[in-house]
Amino acid sequence: MAEPAGGAQGAGGDDAWDVPRILAALPHRYPLLLVDRVLSLTPDEEICAVKAVSFNEQFFQGHFPGRPIMPGVLQVEALAQAAGILAVETLGLAGSGKLVYFMAIENAKFRAPVEPGCLLELSVRFVQKRARVCKFAGTASVAGKTSCEVAFTAMISDAPQG
């Protein structure tokens, strides 16, 4: 990975972002915050992040009893949150009140189950970037084995009033 440009490095001089910095970039909160650490971020290009998949996740109570598997839709959401961090950092949106909304999910493929105790690796890159609409390609994997691939589109918008 290339060194992140101006200000994308985490504390201690490395590329990693911890939870407080992620919380500053995303509006998501527990139990729906699905990015635990950003390992590297190259503005205008890509992000690598992780989600530590714990047996204590609420969805494992019912998906599935006796054979807990992370729902594929939540893998896609984790990739979308990583993309949101990439967009916020690239477009300088931190603190602006702008949100990154899903517009489309395309070509989602689920290749392998994700179980408790896994470290879900999230890799997202820009495919196309405009002022208000961005396209991304994302891959989730565990120990180098792809669990999910997806292309998606997001829109940058003001937060709803109310």
- What is the set of active-site residues? 63
Name the DSSP class of 17.
Answer: B
What does the block give as tokens for 83? Answer: 């993309």
Q: What tokens appear for 90 in the block?
A: 């690239």
Measure the CA angle with vertex 11, ends 8 and 12; round to 5°. Answer: 115
Q: What are the percentages of helix, strand and coil residues in the chain, rounded to 5?
A: 20, 40, 40
- For 42, list phi and psi in degrees, rounded to 5: -115, 105
Residue 30, number of CB atoms within 10 A of its CB: 7
Alpha-carbon torsion (161, 37, 121, 53), positive or negative: negative
* Residue for token pair 């395309």: 106
What CA–CA distance (Å, rounded) separates 157 from 49? 24
